[in-house]
Amino acid sequence: MIRSMMIMNRTLNLEQKRQLRNYFSDFVTERRFNLFNTVIASRTRYLSVVLEDIYQSHNASAVMRSCDCFGVQDLHIIENENPYEVNPQIAMGSSQWLTLQHYNTSKDNTRDCINSLKKQGYRIVGTTPHPNSIPIQDFDISKGKFALMFGTELDGLTDQSIELSDELVRIPMVGFTESFNISVSAALCLYHFTSAIRASDVNWQLSEEEVLDVQLEWLRTSIKESERIEKVFLSKFIEEAI
């Protein structure tokens, strides 16, 4: 259903999406609609997150929750060996507010994901304690949007991901342990980078059309029988156009 709705979004022009959003708003409380407007103002696609083969559901869910809390709209999920499973008690419903893209249908899901993001203009940034990585505070956010990649709990990113990354970053540490837990790493990176982009001059906010598309998905998720209600709206819209 979500996929069909996304296709429908692309067939509507900007004004039609505005009208549909306003039509949907009558089916939720004013408080909820106002909350959608408040939250969307802090959403970003300047930074996206990629998870490569995370196998522990509590970590996968914690990263998802952090994306929502820090306003990162898109989460890209590579499933080479391990299916991405959500722990509802940890995710706390965050999945319904994010745009999730799964890569699990080819022999080389990692390459498919990276190539797709590069075509969209993203810099691929691997997070790793690799010797060639730089501290996150030295990363230049002004050079364009970027996708942060996180690897498995035990081994981190694959050699392929590191080779295909445009840049590598690390979280500075002063203890004996080599790395943070994946969910902690993601939260620290997201806090640092979302704070940095919002304090900068980069154009980090969603476009008007992106705002409408995301809000429409949130409204569909919130409204019972939203598909039927949307069909009624579209039929009236077509009749008026005729």
- Judged by average pLDDT, the poorest of 78-82, 89-93, 139-143 is 89-93
- Judged by average pLDDT, the poorest of 96-100, 185-189, 209-213, 234-238 is 234-238
pLDDT of amino acid 97: 94
* DSSP 8-state assignment for residue 87: -
pLDDT of amino acid 168: 97
**The token pair that represents 45 in the structure block:** 């696609």
Which tens digit of pLDDT belongs to each residue from 158-169?
999 999 999 999
Residues 179 and 235 in one domain: no
Residues 32 and 120 in one domain: no
The residue written with tokens 């696609």 in the block is 45
Q: What is the CATH number of the domain that holds 121?
A: 3.40.1280.10
4 pLDDT more than 60: no
Range of the domain at 92: 43-198
87 pLDDT more than 80: no
Sign of CA dihedral 111, 114, 117, 121: negative
Residues 177 and 73 in one domain: yes
Residues 188 and 74 in one domain: yes
Average pLDDT, the chain: 89
Distance of CA 154 to the CA centre of its chain: 23
- Top-confidence residue, 177 or 135: 135
Residues 183 and 132 in one domain: yes
Residues 2 and 79 in one domain: no
**3-state secondary structure (DSSP) of residue 50:** strand
Sheet strand arrangement including 146-150: 99-103, 74-78, 47-52, 146-150, 123-127, 167-170, 134-135
**The token pair that represents 106 in the structure block:** 């080819």
Judge whether 59 and 90 are in contact, CB under 8 Å.
Answer: no
pLDDT of amino acid 76: 95
Residues 71 and 182 in one domain: yes
Which tens digit of pLDDT belongs to each residue from 9-55?
447 889 989 999 999 999 999 999 999 999 999 999 999 999 998 88
Q: Could you tell me the pLDDT band of residue 239, with boundaries at 50, 70 and 90?
A: low
Residues 23 and 77 in one domain: no
Number of domains the chain contains: 2
Residues 56 and 5 in one domain: no
85 pLDDT more than 80: no
Residue % of the chain over a pLDDT of 70:
91
Judge whether 42 and 192 are in contact, CB under 8 Å.
Answer: no
Residues 21 and 50 in one domain: no
pLDDT of amino acid 123: 98
Residues 66 and 162 in one domain: yes
Judge whether 46 and 204 are in contact, CB under 8 Å.
Answer: yes
Which tens digit of pLDDT belongs to each residue from 93-109?
788 999 999 999 988 99
Residues 89 and 189 in one domain: yes
Q: pTM for the whole thing? A: 0.89
